Amino acid sequence: MSKKMLKFVSVDKQMPEKRGADLRKEDFQEIYEEFETDKAVEQASRCSQCGIPFCQVHCPVQNNIPDWLNLTANGRLEEAYEISQATNNLPEICGRICPQDRLCEGSCVIEKGFESVTIGAVEKYITDTAWEKGWVKPNAPVRELSQSVGVIGAGPGGLAAADQLRKRGYQVHVYDRYDRVGGLLVYGIPSFKLEKDVVERRARLLADGGVTFHLNFNIGKDATFAELRDRHDAIVIATGVYKARDIALPGSGLNGIVPALDYLTASNRKGLGDEVAEFENGTLNADGKNVVVIGGGDTAMDCVRTAIRQGAKSVKCLYRRDRKNMPGSLRETTNAEEEGVEFVWLSAPKAFLGDDNVTGVKAIDMHLGIADSTGRQVPVEIEGSERDIPCDLAIKALGFDPEDIPALFDEPALQVSRWGTIDADPITKMTSMEGVFAVGDIVRGASLVVWAIRDGRDAALSVEMYLKKANQTALAS
């Protein structure tokens, strides 16, 4: 073990410098500065190199975190990058947007009393340095294979699958209905968490490595699902889930009540330089408005922090549980509070107020009752505690559901689960249709980017095994 490690007893945890709230809420740039080299080395050296690395165990892609922390602490940064990217196709993205406080850092064995290692910030530093030094290279397969794979969806799951399959020499074609590669990485996540040139840089690398992208491509219009199956030897579905969960309350039909993804997409498109009518006419623009965001997950945090940057008059987040039970990242909650967001804990909407346009939200106080079958305490209304909250723009950040899968793909044979997601084998990712695989949110429901990457990597391995078997069968016949 290196003598440079185990410094958590003498070195305090430190994140990269964070721009002040007054400055950062004026723009959409990332809020954390880059780690200086000496600080990255110092923070990496805090790792205890424990015998059972729970940080790795609780990382969905099983990153070899202690190894690349040790290498970073010892100045062997190119080797640290090689180990980091060996298990993760998008390490520079995960370093920015993963909720490390709920995953690797939250599982660090030195967390109690000494605070965890700043794993995410070091991961970002390693990969950003690798890009800067030219260590990140396009795929160069040892040999080209004639078999082709069609990947439907250019989000993180699809990109991970495409990357892995291209490394093995398969001809990979990625189809996406948007005009840019990245899916929710581009249109759903604000730039203050993930600047878009980071995603565009990765997309160019995949294209330079031989992945072919077909953008503005709609299944059923540009080609049917059956035609894509005929065109390719295997298919990977990685479309994600985009249908916003709704809330049935009096006044739900008023103008000014919008789904979170519509709001975030408009903001991101505007930031990318697109003409966005809904933004220009104020429908999806928080400027000068009293904004109420309903929900407590990471999407809600993206909405409240976006509204602040758009110049909202006030921003309130309505959540029916307390801070401790909030599903979103606590780090994001802290950032939002610093920027001026007011959290209304233990409060739920009862109705939307107004004639044609929303003017307020009638909310009711809640208390946490007994736990349900999942172990979470159930929110219970406190009778007589209703109050009105002024609101010109209400944003519903209640999660996402899949669309009607058989109708979406015009394929009745594609079986769905009881939750409406595609029914795929949890190990092989194979669906009910031969040679068709599915990964990410379209299988597991709305989840984390890093889980989609893990699914994409697993599916690529299964696709390879399937194609090899198919090739052997063809040669034997």
Q: How confident is the model over 332-357, as pLDDT tens digits?
A: 999 999 999 999 999 999 999 999 99
Q: Indicate whether 1 pLDDT > 60.
A: no
The per-residue pLDDT for range 368-391, each reduced to its tens digit, is 999 888 888 999 999 999 999 999
- The more confident residue out of 10 and 87 is 87
pTM comes to 0.94
Residue 406 confidence class, pLDDT cut points 50, 70, 90? confident
**Least confident window among 14-23, 303-312, 403-412:** 403-412
Q: Give the residue-averaged pLDDT of 247-273.
A: 96
- Specify the residue for token string 């920027």: 339
205 pLDDT above the threshold of 90:
yes
* pLDDT band of 191, cuts 50, 70, 90: very high
Mean pLDDT value of segment 431-447 = 96
* pLDDT number for residue 3: 59
Residues 452-462: tens digit of each pLDDT: 999 999 999 99
Q: Which residue has the higher pLDDT, 42 or 112?
A: 42
368 burial level (CB within 10 Å; 0-12, 13-18, 19+): middle
Residue 328: the pLDDT is 83
Asked if pLDDT for residue 477 goes beyond 80, the answer is no
Give the strand order in the sheet containing 342-344. 257-259, 393-396, 290-294, 314-318, 342-344
What per-residue confidence (pLDDT) applies to 353? 97
* Residue 301 pLDDT > 50: yes
Rounded mean pLDDT, 3-18: 87
Question: What is the pLDDT at residue 111?
Answer: 65
**For 312-328, how does the pLDDT look when each residue is reduced to its tens digit (9 = 90+)?**
999 999 999 999 888 88
Tokens of 455: 């699914």
Average pLDDT (11-36) is 94
- Mean pLDDT for 212-237 is 97
| Rounded mean pLDDT, 246-275 | 96
CA distance 57 to 67: 13
Mean pLDDT, rounded, of the chain: 94
Domains and CATH numbers, the chain: 7-133 (1.10.1060.10), 148-241+402-476 (3.50.50.60), 247-397 (3.50.50.60)
Q: What is the pLDDT of residue 376?
A: 86
Cβ count within 10 A of residue 14: 14
Strands (E), 358-401: 358-371, 377-381, 387-390, 393-396, 400-401
Closest to 243 (Cα-Cα) out of 99, 407, 410, 413? 407
Tally of CB atoms within 10 A around 61:
23
Across residues 275-304, what is the average pLDDT?
Answer: 96
Task: Identify the pLDDT of residue 114.
Answer: 74
